[in-house]
């Protein structure tokens, strides 16, 4: 099995790059985000590789980092997620952002990926929630706050502040993260307007 390739960028396709390694051109399928960040043609490049072997073909998938490759593997443990959908998810979410979205149940962020509807996004969030913290450093306060908001157990000022930031267009995970930080600074009894102001300050950093 191939675990890593190091060579020179030969050319690009719609969803792949051809990497020249010692005169051999390897077709490596990548997420859109990875392709966008690849060096130019003729420049050196290195990719972590996941090899899929079937009876009729061998296909290589490339990633800029090992955590991205691990997420590619993990996503496919969920029913309905194959290599194409896993790459689509990684095209719209960085590994850390994906971990945060799953840990906090942000189904809206996950369903931004082509081919991921609300039901599949909910399944991903539910089945991978316990595994997400192992793949990225997550703030325990953020996870707890988001869970409390979803269950209706958060103090009303906190729930209202998170809702206000979401209504302003911020994704749920960013809104919850900002209010979690604001809550640390303002204290448990802070009013909604104070939390919103501090939360916006966090988001502006």
Residue ranges of domains in the chain? 4-63, 67-135, 140-204
Is 80 exceeded by the pLDDT of residue 142? no
Q: Is 57 helix (H, G, I), strand (E, B) or coil?
A: coil
Is 90 exceeded by the pLDDT of residue 45? yes
Is 50 exceeded by the pLDDT of residue 192? yes
Structure-token match 């952002």, residue found: 97
Q: What is the mean pLDDT of residues 92-112?
A: 84
The whole-angstrom separation of Cα 190 and Cα 4 is 51
Q: Which CATH architecture has domain 4-63?
A: Beta Barrel (2.40)
- Lowest mean pLDDT of 22-26, 61-65, 138-142, name the range: 138-142
- Lowest mean pLDDT of 59-63, 66-70, 141-145, 196-200, name the range: 141-145
pTM: 0.66
- Higher pLDDT: 60 or 151? It is 60
Distances 84 to 36, 41, 125, 134, 191 between C-alpha atoms, Å: 17, 25, 18, 24, 45
- Higher pLDDT: 133 or 190? It is 190
- Lowest mean pLDDT of 12-16, 62-66, 104-108, name the range: 104-108
- Higher pLDDT: 203 or 78? It is 78
pLDDT the model gives residue 138: 47
- Class of the CATH-defined domain 67-135: mainly alpha
């Amino acid at each position: 099995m191939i675990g890593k390739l190091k060579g020179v960028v030969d050319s690009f396709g719609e969803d792949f790059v051809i990497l020249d390694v010692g005169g051999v051109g390897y077709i490596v399928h990548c997420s859109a985000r990875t392709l966008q960040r690849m060096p130019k043609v003729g420049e050196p490049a290195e990719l972590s590789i996941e090899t899929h072997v079937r009876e009729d073909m061998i296909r290589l998938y490339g990633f800029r980092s090992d955590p991205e490759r691990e997420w590619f593997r993990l996503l496919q443990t969920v029913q309905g997620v194959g290599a194409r959908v896993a790459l689509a998810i990684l095209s719209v979410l960085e590994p850390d952002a994906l971990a945060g979205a799953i840990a906090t149940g942000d189904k809206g962020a996950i369903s931004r990926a082509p081919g991921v509807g609300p039901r599949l996004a909910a399944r991903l969030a539910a089945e991978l929630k316990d595994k997400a913290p192992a793949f990225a450093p997550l703030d325990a306060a953020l996870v707890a706050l988001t869970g409390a908001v979803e269950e209706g157990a958060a103090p009303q000022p906190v729930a209202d502040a998170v809702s206000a930031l979401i209504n302003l267009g911020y994704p749920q995970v960013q809104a919850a993260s900002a209010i979690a930080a604001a809550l640390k600074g303002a204290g448990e009894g802070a009013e909604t307007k104070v939390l919103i102001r501090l939360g916006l300050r966090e988001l502006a950093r």
